[in-house]
Structure 1
Amino acid sequence: MLLYVATALYILIGGFIVIRLLLNGMRPTKTLAWLFAIFTIPVGGIFLYLMLGRNRRKNKLFKLKHTPKVASYIAKAIHQYSPITKKEFEEHHKIISLITKNSYFAPCTGNDVKLLKNGEATFRAIFDALKSAEHFIHLEYYIFEEGKLTTDLFNLFQKKIKEGVTVKILYDGIGSMSLSKKYIRQLQNIGVEIHKFLPIKFGKFLSSINYRNHRKIIVIDGKTAFTGGINVSDKYIKGDTDLGVWYDIHLQLKGPVVQSLQAIFAMDWYMVSKEDSILDTSCFYTYKKENGSTVQIVHSGPDSDFSATQQMYFSMINEAKEYIYITNPYIIPGESILDALKVASMSGVDVRILLSEKSDNVIVKWCIRSYFEGLLQAGVKIYLFPEGFIHSKTIVVDTTISSVGTTNLDIRSFEQNYEVNAVIYDDTFALALKDDFLKDIKNSTQLDFNTFMQRPWSQKLKEGFAKIFSPVL
């Protein structure tokens, strides 16, 4: 009798999920895959769907950005900008309009943008800026990992708090799992305000585990900000035993664009702390400088109406007339980006992708390689960097537009993570990023299509198996 009841209940729950799948309007292939999992994997299929398959964008479980209070705050942040003329950026008006509609923030002029290569240069600049803080320090990181860096940060925070500086830290519940309670208590004892983003709790385990805050943001006094691919971890300074040195790109920003990153931090802080005092203009700084780079911030998450960072990549790829140079550690692009890269290459655009030969995950490694054959066949040039691990997330197009940020070229970043990128409309910066890319590929191995096609069938089998997991990697 108990078996019949359990079976009936399972069918009832499965039927309810089927209805949700149909109403949510997922891609047919994705819907079919989840239906197959639910009805062929007893119990486990339903749990997998609840953890990994639910469409947060449709469910709107987080409605933070739609509240009047947040809408008013965003409007105030936008008013901090220097105006730009449509004529000045006619070439990129489509992507500018796209990002503005998706992420609220229009591009602003009068910014100083500094390209920071790798951990030593990045943390040297970060610590110099932190030492100059007079009012507040806001940090938001996916990985906040104990080591020499966090010890140095603790000592610096202790000094700055005694000077009257407010320090707020937001860290991800999964990415920073290794962060000890002892270190957190030490920070709290000296006056640091610290919160965990989407902590793993028993009652919310299924609804939150798959949605992570992958952003890396520092804002100091509303004057200086940092963002990019580098986390707070010693592996960016001295490497690790498995992959060696981690290579990455970060940005130091000064100017009105800092207000966009401050607004993103404030919304994330409000989301986890419920403290609405962060939603005011006291953290904004008024800029009067007119000359400088034009920068636009794009951010997205599972609660966004659309995948803003994915659409940013798609638009940049489609705008290209001469070349597209991409550095990214995780090339699991999904159908739209994959097709856009192929179409661009087959249309005569020089499309090049740089990533590491090594990987920090064996399944991810073979999943990434499963896309190589199609890309190479379409004429895309793929380069594997042999030393260390490249963690940069950059794209530069036609020496006119570029982007540096936290977004990987994979489905997880596009659909499930909270991400942020800076889009820079500046020829000089784009040229510097292009030159850096060309230097890196000189030390890399270019894949040959014919040679790659002769790889052992065992590798093809690994690629095919790993590709099954592409939606959740």
Structure 2
Amino acid sequence: MEDEKEPEKKRRFHILPRRHRKKIIAAIVIIVQILGTLTSVRAIMETRTPQGAMAWAISLNTIPYVALPAYWIFGQSKFENYKTGRQRAYTATNPLARAIKEKFVDRGLTSTVDTQSAELLERIARLPYTDFNHVELLINGKATFDAMFEAIDNAKDYILVQFYIVRDDGIGREFRDRLVARAREGIPVYFLYDGIGSHGLDESYMKPLRDAGGQMIAFSGSGEEAHRFQLNFRNHRKVMVIDGREAFLGGLNLGDEYMGRVEKYGDWRDTHVKVTGPAALFVQMSFVEDWSWATGLIPSLSWDATVATSHTQTALCLPFGPADGLETGTLFYLKMINAARERLWIASPYFVPDQQMMSALQLAALRGVDVRVLVPHKSDSFIVGLAMKSFIPACEEAGIKVFWYKEDFMHQKVILADHDLASVGTANFDNRSFRLNFEIMLVVKDALFNTQVAEMLEKDFARSTRIEGAEIKEDSFPQRFMVNLTRLFAPVL
């Protein structure tokens, strides 16, 4: 009886005839192609930048099987909804920001610098230059974390911490444990981390700080806005503020590689700054806006400015992000490039400029400015490393000197203009930092600080090799093809 049922079971589950299978495959191909085309229309309408829209449109129409899932995960934008939500957070903090600026004016802390160039930067930042700051250059991980640990140990009122990457490793736990110790002593601790950059972080890392009374929150929006957040908009800021008196910002995240403890990267080269004085309060204001967006709450903090007494400098805090009314990051870099008259030195781990940024650099070099770009020889991203190589011939033709940092990995974000202006912060020289990430830079108008930054970069150039465009042209055809192929995706890297 069972033998008679077996053929019937086989017939029931018999594979479709070949002609039907072909029709189904053909239908799937047509449907995917139609979906790719329709989605490309949506990408053109909703993607924030023309370059990104073009990149998505091409990929969705040519390789929809790969591009469709990528777009649904990374590119599907509800940017206007997101921007509205973010601006609600700005609205909540705007009265506080106005009160701080008015207080600074009343106390005479805003800068008397009245050059057209300085005024333009203030308009771009929507914040004033302030006097009576002291800015200290922190070179590499040991100097940075030693200074931050000392500041944590000496905090009297509160500690604000913000990182893009937080790792549960040696330096990550040491940093957390110091915060835990202060939280147990009654010092309020507010810790904000980016959920994408710190995707491997789990509850076991956060629990000791939370149990001690500290707060540790992911930057992903509160309430309904959390569902509008997309992977493209990342909080790339690395900030610490102590008591509203001093602030730290720059290229270093919280992980062992930033201390040179990871063999893959070797001696990690990075730069941070510590600023004491009125500018620290504007760094604090940036943190409060992010905290308000993530939690819907504004922490109770001190807004009385500290005045530095040693060598004082004029400084401007420049936070920017994708919800700004203007493309603040792009305007900042274009202004720095166009204002340079003698020298313009840029250090960035990712050098993927768009056309307007490349043209600005070429024009600077053609008018006689000493334009130098320092990038790592060993990139931590294979695709970005290839894309960077594609810009070297155009740089060389205009007289822009590109240097490969040969000693392990370099991650600093520094720009120096002429002999009185320098900026250190979190923004890379690429489209993601210009338009998609939340970033922060500290601009310092001071000859001594400019000299210190120049001396630091000169040592880096001495450890580097000048890249010649001919070297790229000598690569094999497959190598050159891959370099130029990755350049097509530069707007979305």
Question: Using the alignment, how far apart are the partners of 1:17 and 1:61 within structure 2?
Answer: 22
Aligned with residue 149 of structure 1, among 171, 196, 201: 171
Q: Which residue of 2 aligns with 1:420?
A: 440
Distance 1:84 1:161, change over 3 A: closer
Q: Which residue of 2 aligns with 1:98?
A: 123
Deviation sequence 1:18-69 (CA, Å, 0-9, x none): 2673477842x65444333334444754443344445666554443335542
Aligned with residue 21 of structure 1, among 30, 35, 44: 44
Deviation sequence 1:132-178 (CA, Å, 0-9, x none): 00110010000111222222223322321232200111111111122
Superposition map of 1:57-96 within 5 A? 58=80, 60-66=82-88, 68-81=91-104, 82-84=108-110, 88-90=113-115, 92-96=117-121
Distance 1:382 1:7, change over 3 A: closer
Letter in 2 for 1:126: M
Distance 1:12 1:161, change over 3 A: closer
Are residue 301 (structure 1) and residue 326 (structure 2) matched? no
Distance 1:397 1:97, change over 3 A: same
Mapped contact 1:322–1:350 kept (Cα < 8 A):
yes
Aligned with residue 247 of structure 1, among 269, 284, 298: 269
Deviation sequence 1:316-366 (CA, Å, 0-9, x none): 000011010111110001111111111111111110111111011111110
Letter in 2 for 1:75: R
Question: Which sits farther off after the overlay, 298-307 or 348-357?
Answer: 298-307
Percent identical among aligned pairs is: 28
Q: Which residue of 1 aligns with 2:290?
A: 268
Q: Which residue of 1 aligns with 2:213?
A: 191
Secondary structure of the structure 1 residue equivalent to 2:70 = helix
Secondary structure of the structure 2 residue equivalent to 1:390 = coil
Are residue 256 (structure 1) and residue 278 (structure 2) matched? yes
Larger Rg computed on CA atoms: 2
Mapped contact 1:56–1:302 kept (Cα < 8 A):
no
Secondary structure of the structure 1 residue equivalent to 2:216 = strand
Distance 1:85 1:134, change over 3 A: closer
Question: Which sits farther off after the overlay, 57-66 or 136-145?
Answer: 57-66
Aligned with residue 349 of structure 1, among 369, 372, 376: 369
Q: Which residue of 1 aligns with 2:303?
A: 284
How much has 1:287 moved relative to structure 2? 3.1
How much has 1:399 moved relative to structure 2? 1.1
Question: Using the alignment, how far apart are the partners of 2:276 and 2:397 within structure 1?
Answer: 42
Superposition map of 1:4-15 within 5 A? 15=38
Question: Using the alignment, how far apart are the partners of 2:64 and 2:408 within structure 1?
Answer: 42
Q: Which residue of 1 aligns with 2:130?
A: 108
Deviation sequence 1:285-312 (CA, Å, 0-9, x none): 2335587111111111121222212211
Question: Which consecutive unaligned segments of at least 5 residues does structure 2 have?
Answer: 1-22
How much has 1:374 moved relative to structure 2? 0.7
Deviation sequence 1:412-450 (CA, Å, 0-9, x none): 111211111101111110111011111111121112334
Secondary structure of the structure 1 residue equivalent to 2:249 = strand
Letter in 1 for 2:96: Y
Q: Which residue of 1 aligns with 2:148?
A: 126
Letter in 2 for 1:78: K
Mapped contact 2:40–2:56 kept (Cα < 8 A):
no
Question: Which sits farther off after the overlay, 67-76 or 35-44?
Answer: 35-44
Question: Using the alignment, how far apart are the partners of 1:90 and 1:461 within structure 2?
Answer: 47
Distance 1:441 1:347, change over 3 A: same
Are residue 228 (structure 1) and residue 250 (structure 2) matched? yes
Secondary structure of the structure 2 residue equivalent to 1:306 = coil
Distance 1:185 1:6, change over 3 A: farther
How much has 1:11 moved relative to structure 2? 5.4
Superposition map of 1:326-365 within 5 A? 326-365=346-385
Q: Which residue of 2 aligns with 1:368?
A: 388
Distance 1:297 1:56, change over 3 A: farther
- Superposition RMSD in Å: 3.0
Distance 1:240 1:95, change over 3 A: farther
How much has 1:105 moved relative to structure 2? 1.6
How much has 1:455 moved relative to structure 2? 3.1
Secondary structure of the structure 1 residue equivalent to 2:438 = strand
Question: Using the alignment, how far apart are the partners of 2:154 and 2:347 within structure 1?
Answer: 32
Deviation sequence 1:222-272 (CA, Å, 0-9, x none): 111100001111112233222212110000010011111111111111111
Letter in 2 for 1:238: G
- Normalization by structure 1: what TM-score? 0.89
Distance 1:198 1:451, change over 3 A: same
Are residue 218 (structure 1) and residue 240 (structure 2) matched? yes
Mapped contact 1:80–1:256 kept (Cα < 8 A):
no
Letter in 2 for 1:151: R
Question: Using the alignment, how far apart are the partners of 2:422 and 2:78 within structure 1?
Answer: 29
Mapped contact 2:111–2:130 kept (Cα < 8 A):
no
Question: Which consecutive unaligned segments of at least 5 residues does structure 1 have?
Answer: none
Secondary structure of the structure 2 residue equivalent to 1:359 = coil
Q: Which residue of 2 aligns with 1:315?
A: 335
Aligned with residue 428 of structure 2, among 374, 393, 408: 408
Distance 1:327 1:13, change over 3 A: closer
Mapped contact 2:271–2:412 kept (Cα < 8 A):
yes
Question: Using the alignment, how far apart are the partners of 1:85 and 1:207 within structure 2?
Answer: 37
Question: Using the alignment, how far apart are the partners of 1:9 and 1:384 within structure 2?
Answer: 43
Question: Which sits farther off after the overlay, 251-260 or 236-245?
Answer: 236-245
Distance 1:246 1:106, change over 3 A: same
- Normalization by structure 2: what TM-score? 0.86
